[in-house]
């Protein structure tokens, strides 16, 4: 029902910033809660940030709180992840994901219905 395409991942030095984007197909983007997850080599995919349909409810993993900001622009069918003060531990493939209405925003991977293919973020020390 929806396709998600991430972009913006690249090599960046520790302490730097990066902004990831996820563009969704279709005309029902505003009905989806959205999330960002990441997966480092040899590790399971983990929660990073999530935002509800209106943008009024936001969750962050403790590891990124204060450094990352999730936002959305429903008119552009896009969710963003602004990443500041990047650390080598942030190196991972970053995925965006969507939860279909009427289910609500979640921090759990298994609650998400649709996934993008990921974008690589590498933070050098």
Secondary structure (3-state) at 37: strand
Secondary structure (3-state) at 103: coil
The Cα–Cα gap between 88 and 38 comes to 13
The 8-class DSSP code of residue 54 comes to S
* pLDDT tier, 12 (very low <50, low <70, confident <90, very high otherwise): very high
pLDDT tens-digit readout, 24-81: 997 788 999 999 999 999 999 999 999 999 999 999 999 999 999 999 999 999 999 9
Secondary structure (3-state) at 29: helix
pLDDT at residue 28, as a whole number: 86
The Cα–Cα gap between 125 and 111 comes to 34
pLDDT at residue 31, as a whole number: 92
């Amino acid at each position: 029902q929806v396709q998600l395409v991430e972009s913006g991942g690249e090599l960046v030095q520790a302490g730097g910033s990066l902004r990831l984007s996820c563009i969704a197909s279709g005309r029902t983007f505003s009905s989806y809660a959205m999330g960002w997850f990441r997966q480092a080599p040899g590790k399971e995919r983990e929660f990073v940030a999530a935002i509800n349909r209106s943008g009024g409810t936001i969750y962050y993993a403790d590891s990124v709180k204060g450094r990352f900001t999730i936002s959305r622009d429903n008119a552009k069918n896009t969710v963003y992840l602004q990443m500041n003060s990047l650390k080598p531990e942030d190196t991972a493939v970053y995925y965006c994901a969507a939860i279909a209405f009427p289910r609500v925003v979640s921090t759990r991977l298994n609650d998400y219905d649709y996934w993008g293919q990921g974008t690589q973020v590498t933070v050098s020390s």
